[in-house]
Amino acid sequence: MSRFLFAAAALLILSASSAFAAPAIGQPAPAFTAVDSNGASRSLAEFKGRTVVLEWTNNECPYTRKHYDSGNMQKLQQEATASGVVWLSVISSAPGKEGYVSGAEANALTASHGAHPSAVLLDSSGTVGQAYEAQTTPHMFVIDKVGVLRYMGAIDDKPTVSPASLAGARNYVRQALAAVASGHAVQVTTSEPYGCSVKY
């Protein structure tokens, strides 16, 4: 291989690895574009200047149901969006897999749960989920106003399906949002996500 071809090949490999770089705290969050439950194209770039929460969700997962049946997730969504945060619920279940829904079904679930996301993203191809290496439902990410990833991991420190565990739980997302809003460093930037595996 000539020196020119070798250099070109190395550049191509470097570009490919950069395009699929793992999400990292303190680094720009992976860019994405996805269709929401109303058929509109949404991108991370459109929310520049606003804090963004990404929540991977699956209506059939008992860990997800713990947070929704108790009203815990809805309360956090409402607190966040009332303060100007963009909350994007992401459904990465593939067609035929647990948790897969159409846009109309996603809207019906949002209404029946009294949920308060800014939008529900339908990621049946798994493109957004793979970009963020989303592992579980729920799996949470907090992105600051300039697009930098500030938190990723579990919603709290109680990896169980029991609603009773919510009493006294340390909610990492709430704490991260408060730190970002006040301009302080996020104390816990990563944690081990828990829940059902994302059904790619």
Tell me the domain boundaries of the chain: 26-197
Q: Which fold has domain 26-197?
A: Glutaredoxin (3.40.30)
* Tens of pLDDT, residues 16-33: 334 458 999 999 999 999
DSSP string, the chain: --HHHHHHHHHHHHHHHHHTPPP-TTSBPPP-EEEETTS-EEEGGGGTTS-EEEEE--TT-HHHHHHHHTTHHHHHHHHHHHTT-EEEEEE-PPTTSTT---HHHHHHHHHHHT---SEEEE-TT-HHHHHHT--EESEEEEE-TTSBEEEEE-SBS--SS-GGGGTT--BHHHHHHHHHHHTPPPS--B----SEEP--
Residue 21 pLDDT: 80
Model confidence pTM above 0.95:
no
Residue 163 pLDDT: 96
What is the average pLDDT score of the chain?
Answer: 92
Judged against a pLDDT cut of 70, whether residue 10 lies above it is answered with no
Q: Which residues contact 8 (CB under 8 A, 6 or more apart)?
A: none
Judged against a pLDDT cut of 50, whether residue 11 lies above it is answered with no
* Tens of pLDDT, residues 52-89: 999 999 999 999 999 999 999 999 999 999 999 999 99
Q: Which residues contact 79 (CB under 8 A, 6 or more apart)?
A: 174
Which residues share a beta bridge with 42? 34
What distance lies between CA 194 and its chain's CA centroid? 13
Residue 172 pLDDT: 98
* Tens of pLDDT, residues 98-126: 999 999 999 999 999 999 999 999 999 99
What pLDDT band is residue 165 in, cutting at 50, 70 and 90? very high
Residue 155 tokens read as: 């919603």
